[in-house]
Amino acid sequence: MSLLSLGLFALGALLFALILLGHRQLARAIMRPPVPPPRLERYPSVTMIRPIRGLDIGSRENAEALLEQAYPGELETFFILDAESDPAYPVMVELVRARAAQGKARAEVLVAGKPPPGRTGKLNAMMLGEARARGALIAFSDSDTRPGPHHLRILVEALLARPEAGDTFAPIVAQSDVTTAGDVAYELLVNAWYGASVALAAGAPGEVPFIMGQLMVFNRKALAAVGGVQCAEGRFVDDMYIGQCVARAGFKNVMVPYPLRIVTGGLGLRQFIRVFRRWMLFSQGGLPGNFTRPNWFRGILYFAALGATAVALGAGSWMGTVSCSAAMGLFVWSEVELQARYGGPRVALRHLWVPVVLPLVAALVTLSTKLNRRVDWRGRSYNLDSSAKLTRET
């Protein structure tokens, strides 16, 4: 046995051990048993604000799920669009009218108008909703999410159970209705990479210095302390930045251990790449090191295993090839298994190539964000600086 073969074998074994340790750490964070917050004797009023632009897959069903929240207190819901010409506008009006006819909780469709330069359409809608809100608490919900009937109640209970909390939010789990390779890649990104890392960073207390804003509830004291959601003026990543402002003001961002579904389906690979670029740019908006470091380390292990396997094959070292390829196989298995543990769908055999190439795609997408800071989102294009601040809208 040559020294090269022995070294490659030892390297493969070391990589295997490190990948396994990292997997177990993330798996423990995901599987941490939830502790339900205590029920309240009286539930405060809530204003729920959902910015909408265009019709996503499942938009109607997502809106219906939001309107069917089993919240024990007073609830008003605002669907806010840029203009009446938006294709989602008649759908939301129809749902709100049907709800009014049934005598259920109050809901309205509002028009925010085109945002001024330096402000995203989402933040523009959030600011209008905050200004019109009458609830004691203010909640925001993304249009591609489908909350369970008790999500809002749990978020409110968790918020009021922690006097130091300024807001609560739900983690996300991606689940597609019609699964393509792009959907599998997106699900792995959200569930096995992003979601698992957030669970690890939050720990048992569920506290992080940012917010995943797909469904979040604020108390007015925290919002007032940061100047309202307008504190994110000029920012592309509004929720993460608002969370940073809340943390700097002395409040806690608390994540509840009840995942919120993001609805996907029929996502092409080119569409996924665009979404992935946006997520990469999101991550440059101030994510803490204890969140980003595990993913960077996982990526380094992947490329080390990939490179070592290639070297072993080229050198004709069967022992090194077996050892290093076993580390590669474990890495792919870890992605698939973490997704399943997190609540995502199982990856079909025909799509097993997706977790194999996903880190390679991530490297290329990361490079593209360094070379081109322009991003398309919700029908608009934005140019961003290195801290994910808006520089110019076109």
Going residue by residue through the chain (394 aa), what tens digit of pLDDT does each one get? 688 889 999 999 999 999 999 999 999 999 877 788 999 999 999 999 999 999 988 899 999 999 999 999 999 999 999 999 999 999 999 999 998 888 777 999 999 999 988 888 899 999 999 999 999 999 999 999 999 999 999 999 999 999 999 999 999 999 987 789 999 999 999 999 989 988 888 887 888 888 888 999 999 999 999 999 999 988 877 888 899 999 999 999 999 989 999 998 888 888 888 888 877 766 655 566 667 788 889 999 999 999 999 999 999 999 999 999 999 999 999 999 999 999 999 999 999 999 999 999 989 888 887 777 777 766 677 777 766 677 754 4
CA 33 vs. chain centroid, Å, equals 21
pTM of the model: 0.90
CATH 3.90.550.10 describes domain 37-283: yes
- Could you tell me which of 254, 142, 158 has the C-alpha nearest to residue 206? 254
pLDDT given at position 280: 72
Q: Which whole-number Å values give the CA distances from 167 to 28, 144, 206, in the listed order? A: 25, 21, 12
Answer positive or negative: Cα dihedral of 309, 183, 262, 337: negative
CA distance 382 to 374: 6
Comparing CA positions, the residue from 195, 233, 193, 203 lying closest to residue 335 is 193
Supply the pLDDT for residue 282. Answer: 62
**Three-class SS of residue 197?**
helix
- CA-CA distances (angstroms) from residue 220 to 39, 138, 160, 216? 21, 7, 12, 13
**Domain regions of the chain by residue span:** 3-29+288-378, 37-283
CB 186, CB 272: distance < 8 Å: yes
| Partners of 77 in the β-ladder | 48, 107
Residue 251 is predicted with a pLDDT of 96
Residue whose C-alpha is closest to residue 338's, from 14, 35, 33, 25: 25
pLDDT at residue 239, rounded to an integer: 86
